[in-house]
């Protein structure tokens, strides 16, 4: 099992290196490939999930109403560079089987399964879920605490670590590393305005 764990970590680091190269390629080359946005040759630079100009929740949270180069660059060049490449460099799909888990996660004050991921989510003024960006920090929709899990998916070993907790007063921090629905390395800080 020890060798499988080492290979799992090395697999993650290799995928992360490829994604880092994709990120740098996206940030640096997007201003040039944007002008060829209808050419299939540049497929890897686009975002087939949310479109070239960003997801609706993101545009709403940022109060963006236009669809132009600068909006596309913020979404597909800076926030999600080479997104279609990210969708291909990912863990296997399938059911996850927990091998070993550590930590404690809560949602709305109740303990939840460690196979969930710690994440800060948001809601609008009516309490409607907005995802990981939005108007108001949501204790109801957020998974707070931390978890580290080893798990298998289609007989392949994976791991992930996530943490979402208050740093001090209204400042919150969020970390996600490892194999989720895709390979992730995320550090995020936010202020709860409530």
Among 88, 118, 146, give the residue marking a domain's end.
88
- How many domains would you assign to the chain? 2
Residue range of the domain that includes 27: 2-88
pTM as predicted = 0.79
Among 63, 88, 113, give the residue marking a domain's end.
88
Backbone φ and ψ of 68, nearest 5°: -140, -175
Mean pLDDT by groups of 10 residues along the chain of 194 residues: 92 91 86 86 83 89 92 90 84 94 96 96 89 84 97 95 93 94 90 74
Q: Are residues 65 and 114 in the same domain?
A: no
State residue 15's pLDDT score: 92
Q: Are residues 19 and 54 in the same domain?
A: yes
Q: Are residues 121 and 75 in the same domain?
A: no
State residue 194's pLDDT score: 64
Q: Are residues 42 and 74 in the same domain?
A: yes
Among 21, 55, 88, give the residue marking a domain's end.
88
């Amino acid at each position: 099992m020890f060798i499988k764990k080492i290979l799992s970590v090395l697999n993650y680091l290799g995928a992360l290196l490829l994604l880092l190269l994709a990120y740098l390629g996206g940030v640096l080359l997007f201003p040039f490939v944007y002008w060829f946005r209808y050419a299939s040759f540049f497929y890897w630079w686009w975002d087939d999930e949310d479109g070239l100009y960003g997801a609706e929740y993101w545009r709403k949270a940022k109060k963006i109403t236009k669809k132009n180069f600068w909006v596309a660059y913020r979404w597909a060049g800076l926030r999600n560079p080479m997104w279609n490449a990210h969708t291909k460099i990912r863990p296997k799909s399938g059911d996850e089987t927990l091998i070993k888990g550590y930590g404690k996660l809560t949602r709305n004050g109740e303990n939840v399964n460690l196979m969930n991921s710690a994440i800060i989510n948001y809601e609008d003024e009516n309490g409607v879920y907005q995802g990981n960006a939005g108007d108001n920090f949501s204790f109801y929709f957020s998974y707070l605490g931390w978890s580290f899990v080893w798990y298998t998916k289609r007989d392949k070993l994976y791991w992930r670590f996530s943490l979402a907790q208050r740093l001090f007063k209204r400042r919150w921090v969020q970390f996600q590393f490892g194999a989720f629905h895709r390979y992730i390395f995320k550090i995020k800080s936010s202020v709860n305005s409530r």
